[in-house]
Structure formats: C-alpha cells, structure tokens
Chain A
Amino acid sequence: MGRLELIQSLTGHEGRVWNVAWHPKGNFLASCGEDKIIRIWGKQGNKWVLKTILTDGHQRTIREMSWSPCGNRFASASFDATTAIWDKASENFECIATLEGHENEVKSVAFSKSGVFLATCSRDKSVWVWEVQDDEFECAAVLNAHTQDVKKVVWHPQEDILASASYDNTVKLFKEDLSDHDWTCVATLDAHESTVWSLAFEKTGARLATCSDDQTVKIWKEYKPGNPEGIVTPLNESVWKCVCALHGFHSRTIYDIAWCHITGLLATACGDDIIRVFKEEASCDPNQPTFELVHACHNAHSEDVNAVKWNPCVEGMLASASDSGEIRIWQYQD
C-alpha cells in the first residue's frame, strides 16, 4: 500500500478553490476560485511560495486555468462568461485577450497539446474550439452535441482530439474534419448514471478515465479500426468501450480525476473529503484491466476536494484544491 505525504498547505484564497494547474515544467502551480483571483505559486528553496497575484481578469468566480504547452501563456475560464488569455510578456503576466461568446458560465478551458487550439465549455451546453494564431483567437467551431451543462474539456495528450464531460451523463469526443475544417462529434461515451464531472487521458491517449456524480470511475479503451480484438468500428472511426468500472470506493460525487503520465497512477477528488489513489494491477488483461485502491487519504481536506493534479515532471507529486480554501501539495510514496 502507498500513502500520500503532505508536503505543504498553501493558503490565501478566500472562499472555495476550484482548481489548480501545473506549469508544463512542473515548477509553478496556478490556482483559482471564488475570490476571482489567480495565484501562481513557485518553489523557493524547499518551500512553495506565492509568486504572482492576478486580480483584474474576471468579474465572477474563476473556474479553471490551463497552461499552453510552451508555458508562456495560460487561459482562465470564468463564470462571467469569458475566457481570458494571459501572456508572460516580461516579468509579469498580462491579459492579452478576452474571449467572448458563451452565453453564461464558462466551466472549463484547455489548450491542446499542439498549442494550435483552445477549447472552452459552458453551462450554455456548448463546447467551443478556438484556433490560436499568435495573439488572435478565432472561433473554429461551436459544438452543440451535449444536451446539458458541459463540465469539462480535456485534450488528447498527443492528437487534436477533444473530450468533453457533461451534466447529460455522457462524454463526447470531437475531431476536426480536414475537408472543411469543421469539428464533429466522433464518439459518445455513455455509461455513467449521473453528471460526468471530469476525465483524464492516459499518457498515450489510448485510454481515458471518467469520474461522476454516480460515485464511480470508469476506464475507457480506444479500439481503432482494424483492432486485433475484432471490435466493429462503424464509419472507420475508433470505438471507445468501457473496460473497467470502479464501484464502491467513493461515497460522494467524484469531482476530479488525474491520470499520472509518469507513474500511471490514478487519483480522484471526492465530495467525501478523501483523495484516493488507484494502481493498475500488473499483467492484467488490457481488455479487462483491474485497478487496486492503494491509498485513501481521509480528511485530505476539511471540505470537498474539487481538483487533483499530478505534477507533470516530478514523480508522485500531487496538488489538490478544496472548498475549504486550501491548496495542498502531496508526495505519493509506495
């Protein structure tokens, strides 16, 4: 069994902290929440300290941030219906663009791995794809595939494939049709019985994990056309099948899930104040994998855990954000 060792608690936010985002190099952590303030934390000696405070970007709660792959920019999504783009011009970050278009609360934002696209989603049920060209952000698609509030957008770690999770209990995947540069829904992952709050791709993008208000985690595997298992792939598009469900581990809504690209560990953030870590059993059938709960960190926070994020560069380092207003940095030990 492993355990999560608390390295440090970061305080300063007023009200609930909604999210944290690691810089691609793993040496900075951005956080945001109800207080409409973005905080960027960095390491000084052995301590994580506040490096930057950005205050004037949004009128209402900031729900999520996403770093561009180059690390010189990040985007922030807010309940004020806008998405702000921040650029590190010299010493400090400057808001260089405000993306308008959503009717109401923007819930999630994500830069694609290629850096060419930015995705946003909103309570207005739509998912938007923006094309990035230097300082210009053009709307490349408005996707109305979901029938309810869209909670999360996440890009595939290698390709320009977008996944979105919704209050309509489904996850949808979108891809650009190169013949007319329009984006279309290429798959709907339908197995959860309530809101899907978040999702995370495995390092290769061949599987993804989803977490839901139905208190389960589900693991989905991509079956490409011509797969050796003989899974039929209509229209020559990949089929995503649910190959594993983690039942009975969580006692409340699971708000976030993170799939570590270094260790392969899964971490979940839950409304029961617990952070759980799961490990895939070695040599299990790839079409029927099994995951073992290797640690449940009780009272990881004093209130709901809203977000968990593995550090992309430091093995086993995890950051979490909570309704309590605290951010915590953890180190996983086997």
Chain B
Amino acid sequence: MSSRFSGALQLTDLDDFITPSQECIKPVKIEKTETGTGAKIKIQDDGAYVHLNKPKVNEVGVTQGQETKLQKVEISLTDCLACSGCITSAESVLVAQQSHDEMVRVFTDNEQLKQSGRCNEVKLLVVSMSVQPVLSLAERYGLSPGECAEKLSGYFKSLGADLVLDMTVADDFSLLESQREFVERFRAAQEEPENFATQLPMLASSCPGWVCYAEKTHGNFILPYISTTKSPQQIMGSLVKSHLGRAPQQVYHVTLMPCYDKKLEASREDFSNQQLGTRDVDCVITAIELEQLLQVEGVELDGVVSAPLDCPWGAAQGLWSHSGSGSGGYAHHIFTHAAKELFGEDISAVQFRALRNPDFREAVLEKDGKVVLRFAIANGFRNIQNLVQKMKRGRTAYHYVEVMACPSGCLNGGAQVRPQSSISSRELIERLEKTYLSLPQRGPADNPAVATLYAEWLGERIQIKHSIVKAQYNAVPKVNPYLNVNWGNRTIRWVKKGLEGMSA
C-alpha cells in the first residue's frame, strides 16, 4: 500500500513503520536519588532493564548492589517529532493516538457518560472539516460537494458529534494573516535589507510535511523564511478550543484532513495547552480513514440523513473555494493583496505559468517594465529540493513561495481516497481540481464570520491574537547516525558490508 504521508516525510524516515518500542533510540532518563559513579544498567533475560546502584557494604559485611527496575519507555508522537533519529513516527504511534478508532472510542465513551448522567464529564464533540477531503469523498461516493458535506455532517452527528463545522473561517483567517505578514516582511526587507530575520522569500507554512522536513533537515537556515502564520487546522483548533464558550478540556476536537502529516502537526507541543494538558486539535482523521470507517460499519454515505453544517460564529458557512491553487490559494491571495497594498495595482486574475514541470509555477508583477513581485508555487518534494538548494546558493529571486509537500498540492494529499480502478490518479486530481474551482469563491476579507471574529473578539487583544494565529518552528538537532543502528539479529557479515556506512 502506498504511504499516506507526503514524500518529504517519507524521506526523513518518518514513515518507516518500525515499532518504536523495538528500535527507538530515545535515551532512558534515570531519576537518580543519589549521585555517584559506577552505576550500571543490566538487561535481564526477559528484556527488562535494571539499574544497579553502586555496591554498598551492609551490616554483615556483604556487599550488594541495589537493583531498581527501570521503567519501560513510552514513546509519544511528540518524542518522535522532537528527535531526528530513526525517526520512527511509526504508524503504530499515530494509530494509537489519532485514528478513526480513537475518535469512535471517545464518541462512544461520551455517550455513556451522558446516559449515566455524569453531565459534568461530558465533552462537547466538535468535528471540523477541511474542503479537500470533503471533495475527495464526494468524488468517491458520487455526491455533489454540498451534499457530501451535509451527509458527512449527518454521519458525524449520528456518531455523537455536537457540532460539525467547515474550516473556511480558519482558511480565511490564515490567508488574511499571511497577506498581512507578507506585506510587513516585504516592507521590512526593503528597509533593512541586511537583517536576516526579515529576508525574503517568505515560504508558506500551512503544509506540515514541508515544515517538518525543513525543521529536521535544513533547520536554522530555512526556518526564518517560513511564514509564522498558523495553518488553518491549528487556527481552527484555537477557535474551537477558546471560542465556543467552553473550557478547552471540555471540548474534544476532531479535524477531517487530506493527509497524515496533519496528525503530526496536531501533535506538536506548541499547539497544546500544557497546563490543562489539552491539544487544540485532539484527533485528526483523513478521507481514506473515513472511507474505511464507512466500509467497516457498512454505512452507505448516500443513505445517511443529511444535517446542515453548524455555524457558531454567526454568518452561514458552507463550502467555499479560494482562487488559485487547490491548497488554499495562498500564492494567489498574497499576490493580489501585495499588488494592491504595495504597488496600488488591482489584479483580479494571476497567471501562474509552469516552468520546468507543472508542479513548479511562477507569476510576476511588472511595473514600469521592472519585475516588482515574483511568486512561485512549488509542489512535491523534487521542487522543494530545487527551491532549497537554490536558496542555499543564493539564487532565488522569489518574494513568496507556496510550498506544499505533495505533488499537485493538498487536493492530492497523501490520505485522500485512492482512485477507483476505472480512473488514473492524474484524472482523479483533474476532477478534484475542477470541482474545487466550481465551488463558490469569496475573498477571505469578505467572509462575514471572520470580520465578526476580528471585530468582536480579536480586535484589540494583541496577545490573544498572537496565540491564535502565530506559530513557531524549531530546528531539530541531528543525532549521531551510528547510535541509530538496529543491531538486532543481523549476522556479522551483514555488519561488515551491509552497513557500508559504518566505515569512515
């Protein structure tokens, strides 16, 4: 089966499917009660690790080392993300923490709490749907996008969801903040061309596959270029946890997304509330998992009773698309905004033309015969590579690049429903792109819900606003690759040559 992660993450080994308990190199931290040297760790026959304290002489003059059984290390997804080692993300970790099974379990538990009258423990169950997986499922089940969204809403409600939302409001927030950030960066770069922190190009931040790859592989070189605006999923997370009138720990938030990489994003420490022990997004499920769930439960999506999408923040929502790419139209919207804001140019349509391959496209704004804005869309890992290498050699003239780890962007996310036998994956993408562009379009600033939220809620509160829309990234230090070897039951000869890399 092909991977549900993007190619970028597969390369960083995040998708190696080894069980972390067997091969993880996470160091064991021993809580020591006394200092001293000479302590040893012994591996017992059953595989348990035992810590031997320094031998002591007891009353009868016999020396003996005190044995303490060490705790078995539990590897969480957060550990995986903070490590550049094996880097086992292992599917097993993800599945344990974020899967449709986990979602169903929480929903079922919640129902039991309700029935047993333990009202104060009952959670508000919220599902937020991103547009790409809805389109993927609509195509799979032969429904129109609107029908599909309402059928999905009906299905989630039948499982126990209290609110089913679409993510357009967060998409719009993310676009608006990205536009603002770009204009600020552009101006700052012109005023202080030598300040590294304000350098261009600004690189999109909404793809966690790309961000994770950048952190693990190119660290401090590339991170300053990445937009500090949160992705729509995480903005949605902040909104749902802090603006539905319930305490974060009373809300269980599920998102429906186009790729597994989003599960990693939701698990990032920055997107959790450490005091309350909650995460902004508790569980990420994907189109392909939902297809599986429907299959296992024997549910025909077509036959599900529809339910309208909820709109807790005023104006009616619904499925909208954004001009430009199927990944949310970042390059397009930032381009038109910057053209207007910085150069007073009104532009309705931006022409991104393909360069070397259809996944690397470029658009320019010319003024008085000079190029004043140069934007690009770089999808897929090969184009990420070329972009990063060009930046390293100081050979990029771009002001902004919309970077997505999957070829064709988010409509082709790693966990979208696979093409049925009668259709090639390229045809499927073309259809999804067509459907996406057929949805009603609206500029992010024209979303009345966003306007309301800005005015009533975020307006003056800079601090809060910052926590809602801003993200930060951290370079992951490299671990010594030699520590990361599974010695297991390999033969000596394998060690000799199989691991060529062990030599100098």
Interface size on B, residues (CB 8 A): 28
Check A138/B501 contact, CB under 8 A, given A103-B12, A124-B11, A144-B11: no
Interchain nearest-CB distance for A249 vs B (Å):
19
Number of A-B contacts (CB under 8 A): 72
Check A139/B389 contact, CB under 8 A, given A103-B13, A144-B10: yes
Looking at chain B's contact residues, the main secondary structure is: helix
- B503 contacts A16, C-beta separation under 8 Å: yes
| A161 CB–B CB distance under 8 Å | no
| A250 CB–B CB distance under 8 Å | no
Could you mark each residue 8-28 of chain B with 1 if its beta carbon is under 8 Å from any beta carbon of chain A, else 0? 001111000000000000000
- A167 contacts B498, C-beta separation under 8 Å: yes
- Which A residue sits closest to B407, measured CB to CB? A182
For A79, what are the chain B residues with a Cβ–Cβ distance below 8 Å?
500-501, 503-504
For A105, what are the chain B residues with a Cβ–Cβ distance below 8 Å?
500-501
| B386 CB–A CB distance under 8 Å | yes
- B500 contacts A180, C-beta separation under 8 Å: no
- B386 contacts A138, C-beta separation under 8 Å: yes
For A101, what are the chain B residues with a Cβ–Cβ distance below 8 Å?
385, 389
In the assembled complex, the Cα of A79 lies from the Cα of B493 at a distance in Å of 20
Interchain nearest-CB distance for B501 vs A (Å):
4
- A139 contacts B382, C-beta separation under 8 Å: yes
On chain A, which size bracket covers the interface?
35 or more
- Which A residue sits closest to B385, measured CB to CB? A139
Among A10-27, those with CB < 8 Å from B are 15-16
- Cβ-defined partner of B503 (8 Å) among A34, A131, A253: A34
In the assembled complex, the Cα of A131 lies from the Cα of B500 at a distance in Å of 27
Among B352-391, those with CB < 8 Å from A are 356-359, 381-383, 385-386, 389
Interchain nearest-CB distance for A270 vs B (Å):
12
- Cβ-defined partner of B501 (8 Å) among A16, A123, A131: A123
| B312 CB–A CB distance under 8 Å | no
In the assembled complex, the Cα of A76 lies from the Cα of B433 at a distance in Å of 42
Check A141/B11 contact, CB under 8 A, given A16-B503, A105-B500, A180-B357: no
- A142 contacts B503, C-beta separation under 8 Å: no
Extra contacts, 13 of them, besides A139-B383, A141-B382 (Cβ < 8 A), are A34-B504, A61-B500, A63-B500, A79-B504, A103-B217, A123-B500, A131-B356, A138-B356, A139-B386, A142-B11, A149-B498, A180-B426, A181-B357
| A255 CB–B CB distance under 8 Å | yes
- B386 contacts A255, C-beta separation under 8 Å: no
In the assembled complex, the Cα of A82 lies from the Cα of B3 at a distance in Å of 26
- B501 contacts A142, C-beta separation under 8 Å: no
- B11 contacts A61, C-beta separation under 8 Å: no
Among B481-500, those with CB < 8 Å from A are 481, 493, 497-498, 500
